[in-house]
Structure 1
Amino acid sequence: MDSYSEYVNERKMPPIFPKALEPYDMKPVENELGLTITERRSLQNGWSIIKQKQRRAALTIYVNLFTEHENLYEVFRSDGVLNIEFASQHQKEVLTVFQMIIEQVDNARFVKTMLKELALRHEAASVTNTQWQLYTNEVRKYFLETLADAISPTFVHALDKLMNFVCNFNDLTESKEELHRVTRIK
């Protein structure tokens, strides 16, 4: 009697586990933002490098964005006057928002609440989803260029998912708000 199964067969005893266990599907578990734990940690590790250059990053992203899309300066114009102070403050605040998103990426409720608040503020300022996409693309490009030596496919995939979530969340918010306005008018 070398094994338990031989012992059970010889004694005509029922096995301890009379029925086979159900197969277990082992795939990564995603949170509400669509990110796995590995992707979330990868984003946070990448952010720890970018965070050291946060002030310079904000300026670089803005210069690149407005060099390619000069018409976006109109967002910072009120009564025909360009509000340089607000534009300067905004560039710092945007990366602070990305910092909060990445540092709190495990807390999907916090991220969604913050994005909802941002969507409402930007809607009030007539910022379109296309403008959000242009900006998030510029942030993504900066992250990838800055981390070129230390980049991993996991980080790239996670960053793409996060940027798409931010843009799609805003697009979804715009669609819901538009639907709400239309139904209220009727």
Structure 2
Amino acid sequence: MSKDKISKKSSGIAGLIYPKRLPKIKVGAIKDDLGFTLNERLALRQVWNLIRPYERRYGQDVFYSFLNDVYWGINKFRDEGELNLKALHSHALHFVHFFGLLIEQEDPVMFQLMINDNNLTHSRCNVGSAYIGNLAQALVDHVLNVFQKVSSPSLERGFMKIVEKLKSYQDNQPINTAYNRLSKMDLP
């Protein structure tokens, strides 16, 4: 067969199928929809399985020491001068539990909704996202200190990504007055 007949055959249907083009190779770690690599996600989940039975203890250790360092923070839990211990204890537990839910969440939309809802709730109490981010950083520092023997760069990067997501959220401070109406002073 001549070369002309071979080139005509290859230009037909077979020419469209063969030779197959090679897919582009992605160099580096593949990230999920939330921006975590597989190693980061795995390290976070493994450490969270170690933390889960001790949520209350870690929450209290971090929350109380952080609130005492930030002297005005503990005043958020005062009712007419009295320290509301029930609210303080439950808030410490809920804080660590919320952090665990963020680690376990795989859906990016739900992840953002959880952070947004948390931010909106705290904005009503005049607690900004920077404050929440600093508290999350204190938890991360405590966990990395407690689990320093099993710590890894992947775990540290995973924790830092969660802290950055908590810190980067804008504060949603409502400017509404009674009955959700704007006052004359709120208008430009």
The question of a shared fold, defined as TM-score above 0.5 by the shorter chain, is answered with: yes
What SS does structure 2 have at the residue aligned with 1:114? Answer: helix
Alpha carbons 1:132, 1:167 under 8 Å: kept = yes
List per-residue Cα deviations over 1:77-108 (Å, max 9, x = no partner). 2444332221111001111111211122x122
User: Cα 1:17–1:128, aligned 2, differ >3 Å: closer, same or farther?
Assistant: same
List per-residue Cα deviations over 1:88-129 (Å, max 9, x = no partner). 11001111111211122x122222111111111100111022
List per-residue Cα deviations over 1:6-31 (Å, max 9, x = no partner). xxx9x966587458546432343323
Distance (Å, rounded) in 1 between the aligned partners of 2:33 and 2:172: 20
Equivalent residue for 1:159?
159
Q: Quote the offset at 1:156 in angstroms.
A: 0.6
Alpha carbons 2:120, 2:172 under 8 Å: kept = no
Code of the aligned partner of 1:103: E
Higher RCO (C-alpha under 8 Å, 6+ residues apart): 1
Equivalent residue for 1:122?
122
Specify every segment of 5 or more residues in structure 1 that has no aligned partner in the other structure, as ranges.
Answer: 1-8
* Aligned counterparts, 1:34-49, within 5 A: 34-49=35-50
Say what the alpha-carbon RMSD is for the aligned residues.
Answer: 2.7
TM-score by length of 2: 0.76
Alpha carbons 1:58, 1:92 under 8 Å: kept = yes
Equivalent residue for 1:132?
132
Alpha carbons 1:140, 1:159 under 8 Å: kept = yes
Equivalent residue for 1:185?
187
Distance (Å, rounded) in 1 between the aligned partners of 2:173 and 2:18: 52
Query: Quick one: percent identity of the two aligned structures?
Result: 19
Alpha carbons 2:129, 2:166 under 8 Å: kept = no
Equivalent residue for 1:74?
75
TM-score by length of 1: 0.77
Instruction: Return the structure number with greater helix share.
Output: 1
Q: Quote the offset at 1:34 in angstroms.
A: 1.8
Alpha carbons 2:132, 2:167 under 8 Å: kept = yes
Q: How many residues were matched structurally?
A: 169
Alpha carbons 1:31, 1:108 under 8 Å: kept = no
What SS does structure 2 have at the residue aligned with 1:149? Answer: coil
Alpha carbons 1:129, 1:167 under 8 Å: kept = yes
